[in-house]
Amino acid sequence: MKRFLWYCFSACFFTSRFPVNGIKIFLLRVFGSRLGKGIIIKPGVNIKYPWKLSIGDYVWLGENVWIDNLAQITIGNHVCLSQGAFILCGNHDYTKSTFDLLISPVILEDGVWIGAKAIVCPGVKAGSHAVLTAGSLANKNLDSYMIYRGNPAMPIKDRILR
């Protein structure tokens, strides 16, 4: 019943073009998300299971972000998920004829920026202030204060904040 209710509310207020951020925050909390302050949720965001989601303070979820949290997703403070980013917790074991579902949590530490249409795969931990550039795919952990690009994502340079 919980999943059905979430599906209905999600279709009306999240995956649609509904613009009112406060109602989205309220609904996520009602359905079990742990949320900080100053969170912005743009239209078209898809969150599979809010009860498996923890978001820190001042986080930006851009248009059409997809949070496919079959396992826990933890997002730190001052994190930006740009338009169309995918955060995935599940995959299938292609080596078995039963195609078993494999799930692993994802952690995005403080200051992480996931670029537009980038993909974070199950089990990835993005260290503090790591950047995954637009269109890149992270299938391994991202080190703190590093910028990653490509498929698979490779470190290209240090992230220096001023």
Q: Which residues pair with 92 in a beta bridge?
A: 101
pLDDT at residue 32 in the model: 97
pLDDT confidence tier of residue 17, bands split at 50, 70 and 90: confident
Q: Is the pLDDT of residue 18 over 90?
A: no
C-alpha dist (Å) from residue 127 to 49, 56, 67, 85:
24, 15, 18, 17
pLDDT at residue 11 in the model: 87
pLDDT at residue 34 in the model: 98
Helix (H) or strand (E) holding 22: helix 21-30
Alpha-carbon gap, residue 80 to 113, rounded angstroms? 5
For domain 2-158, give the CATH number.
2.160.10.10
Strands 131-132 and 106-108: unpaired
Q: Is the pLDDT of residue 121 over 90?
A: yes
**Domain layout of the chain by residue ranges:** 2-158
Q: Is the pLDDT of residue 20 over 90?
A: no
Q: Write the pLDDT tens digit of every residue in 85-119.
A: 999 999 999 999 999 999 999 999 999 999 999 99
pLDDT at residue 147 in the model: 98
Q: Which residues contact 69 (CB under 8 A, 6 or more apart)?
A: 47, 48, 49, 52, 53, 87, 89, 106
Q: Write the pLDDT tens digit of every residue in 26-83.
A: 999 999 999 999 999 999 999 999 999 999 999 999 999 999 999 999 999 999 999 9
pLDDT at residue 16 in the model: 79
